[in-house]
Structure formats: structure tokens, C-alpha cells
């Protein structure tokens, strides 16, 4: 049976976008972004967003779909992506779900049941003042099942569980679970030597600066204000420090590279937990053909016709 979806995942700077672009052209398919920052308009260089010319080569979806002042929820992303996948005609090549945001990918491939509750910032602010110890005790009282999966020190998930319960009146444990799609999925992952990846990250950071990352950050700060949450994310927070005169540009580059390496390590840990992923060496000189052969061996040979 031909898959209805091909996933290309892995850590940052592993070459996912480049491989996906080549595969999509061969397959005459589309690319669905699974990147939690590329969904936002104007955040381009720092998110390694595909260029306009690249997007013209292959149709890209879920890129530039909302303003940076809007918080797109995981449930909303899931709904958008599922609509694109389900609305594709069955005789067409499967779309490629491409990115490094593991939760985005999992929401599709596992069919996560996600409470449709947007972040309640005022409520979170009030709860945070109580301290993690008291918040966790509250969670034990209202949703003891949730505490089986949420560690005592996990502030983010504790807050989220309380938030969902207060907004919906139902424990988050009753609203979660999985409903996997009934179509076949092919999982492809890119990984390789850590030293090579570190060098790639360093080169990509330097390239971003050459492309105008500093000007991009300055423009976004002037337009939206320095307190915009997205401006505290990887690559933007460091160069915001530079613009404030707190560090030099070389320090901003080094910090961005360091934080990117740390982020890549977390991504690797996440994706290694999924045995369904077939891994390929991102540094292989014959990567495209190796992946292409694997796709054909997975009953996709008819996609070219």
C-alpha cells in the first residue's frame, strides 16, 4: 500500500529542507512545514525559512500563515495540516511533512487528541505566583491521573494542565490520548556525526548573519517591541542582546551556535524515541539516491507515473 504521507524529520541543520525539496520535485508533491516558527510571517532568516525561489519550485504549506503577535496553538496547527493531507486526491503523490518540531509531527502521525485551549496569560501569571510546589499539589487534587505523566518539577506542563482544567472544567487527562490516522506513513530521519553537525550549525549561523539577520531582528524589534515572545527564541534573543549593547556581534554568533547545538541535542533525543523512523546519514554523498531507493522499496515506485 502506498503511504499517504512521508515524514522527513531530524535535528536542526541536518539538511531536511534541502532533501525534501529534491524529493518533492521528483515525486511532483508538496511540502507541509512542521516548524513552529516558520508559521509566522516576517521571521525569515532566523528560522531558516525556505526562500521565495525555493517555495516557487515546490508548493509549501503552513509557512507564513499568521502574524507574530498571534499564538497559533498545537491544535490549530494539527487541524490545518490534517485538512491539507486529507484533502489531497488519493491518486496524487503523498505530501512531505518536513521539520524538526517533534510535537507538530507527533500531532499528525499519532493523531494526538489536543484540548483546544489557547494560552491564558493572565491566569498563568496568577498561578505562577503560587510557586511550583503549590501548583503541583493543586494538580494532584483536581487531576491525579495527569501527575502520573507530569514530573513534580515540570512547571510548563503543570501550568498547562491546570489551565486546561480551569478553562474547560474537565481534567486534561480526560481530553488527551491518541487517535492515529488510518493511512500509512513513511518516516525518514536525518542524523550523523556530532562534530560535523556542530560545524554545519556554525556555518549556518554565520550565513544567517551574512544574509541580514541583524537587520531582521532590528526591524522586528522596532515593529513589534522587544517583549514579543518570538524575539526571545533561538537566534533572535541573542541578537536582540547585541542590539541592546549587552554583547558583541561575535558573542551573539557564538551564543546562537551554542544554543542551537543544545537545541539539536534535545531534538535528537526526541526523535530517537520513535522506532518507526528509518535513519539516513545527512553527510552521505549519495543521500538523495539512498532515500529515493528506500522510498521505492517501500512500494512507492508507482508515484512517478
pLDDT digits (tens, 9 = 90+) for 35-52: 999 999 999 999 999 999
pTM (two decimals): 0.88
What pLDDT band is residue 119 in, cutting at 50, 70 and 90?
A: confident
Q: What torsion, rounded to 10 degrees, do the Cα atoms 79, 84, 87, 89 define?
A: -150
What pLDDT band is residue 114 in, cutting at 50, 70 and 90?
A: confident
Average pLDDT of 20-44? 97
Average pLDDT of 242-264? 98
Q: Which triple of cell numbers denotes residue 173?
A: 487527562
Asked if residue 301 has pLDDT above 80, the reply is no
SS3 state of residue 70: coil
Nearest to 95 by CA among 106, 104, 85: 85
Which pLDDT score, from 0 to 100, does residue 304 have?
41
Question: What is the tens place of the pLDDT at every residue in 176-232?
Answer: 888 999 999 999 999 999 999 999 999 999 999 999 999 999 999 999 999 999 999
Do 48 and 207 touch, CB atoms closer than 8 A?
Answer: no
How many residues are given for the chain?
305
What pLDDT band is residue 53 in, cutting at 50, 70 and 90?
A: very high
Average pLDDT of 135-141? 95
Question: What is the tens place of the pLDDT at every residue in 228-246?
Answer: 999 999 999 999 999 999 9
CA–CA separation, 51 vs 40, rounded Å?
14
Q: Which residues contact 170 (CB under 8 A, 6 or more apart)?
A: 164
CA–CA separation, 157 vs 160, rounded Å?
5
What is the strand order of the sheet 96-99 is part of? 60-61, 31-33, 96-99, 5-10, 185-191, 278-281
CA–CA separation, 172 vs 144, rounded Å?
10
Domains and their CATH numbers in the chain: 5-112+179-304 (3.40.50.300), 121-174 (1.10.20.140)
Which pLDDT score, from 0 to 100, does residue 121 have?
84
Amino acid at each position: 500500500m502506498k503511504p499517504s504521507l512521508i515524514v522527513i524529520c531530524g535535528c536542526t541543520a541536518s539538511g531536511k529542507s534541502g532533501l525534501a525539496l529534491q524529493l518533492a520535485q521528483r515525486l511532483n508533491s508538496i511540502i507541509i512545514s512542521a516548524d513552529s516558527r516558520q508559521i509566522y510571517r516576517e521571521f525569515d532568516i532566523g528560522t531558516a525559512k525556505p526562500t521565495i525561489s525555493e517555495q516557487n519550485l515546490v508548493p509549501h504549506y503552513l509557512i507564513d500563515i499568521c502574524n507574530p503577535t498571534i499564538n497559533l496553538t498545537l491544535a490549530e496547527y494539527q487541524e490545518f495540516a490534517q485538512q491539507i493531507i486529507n484533502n489531497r486526491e488519493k491518486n496524487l503523490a503523498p505530501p512531505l511533512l518536513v521539520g524538526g518540531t517533534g510535537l507538530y509531527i507527533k500531532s499528525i502521525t499519532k493523531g494526538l487528541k489536543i484540548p483546544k485551549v489557547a494560552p491564558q496569560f493572565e491566569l498563568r501569571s496568577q498561578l505562577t505566583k503560587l510557586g511550583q510546589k503549590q501548583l503541583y499539589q493543586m494538580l494532584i487534587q483536581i487531576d491525579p491521573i495527569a501527575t502520573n505523566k507530569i514530573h513534580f518539577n515540570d512547571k510548563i506542563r503543570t501550568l498547562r494542565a491546570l489551565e486546561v482544567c480551569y478553562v474547560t472544567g474537565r481534567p486534561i487527562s480526560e481530553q488527551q490520548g491518541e487517535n492515529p490516522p488510518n493511512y500509512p506513513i513513511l518516516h525518514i530521519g536525518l542524523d550523523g556525526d556530532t562534530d560535523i553537525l556542530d560545524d554545519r550549525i556554525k556555518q549556518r549561523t554565520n550565513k544567517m548573519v551574512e544574509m541580514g539577520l541583524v537587520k531582521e531582528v532590528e526591524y522586528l524589534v522596532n515593529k513589534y517591541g522587544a517583549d514579543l515572545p518570538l524575539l526571545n527564541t533561538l537566534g533572535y534573543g541573542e541578537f536582540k542582546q547585541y542590539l541592546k549593547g549587552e554583547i558583541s556581534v561575535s558573542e551573539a554568533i557564538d551564543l546562537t551556535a551554542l544554543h542551537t547545538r543544545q537545541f539539536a541535542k534535545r531534538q535528537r533525543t526526541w526523535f530517537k524515541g520513535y522506532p518507526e523512523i528509518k535513519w539516513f546519514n545527512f553527510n552521505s554523498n549519495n543521500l538523495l539516491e539512498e532515500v529515493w531507493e528506500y522510498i521505492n522499496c517501500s512500494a512507492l515506485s508507482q508515484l512517478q507515473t
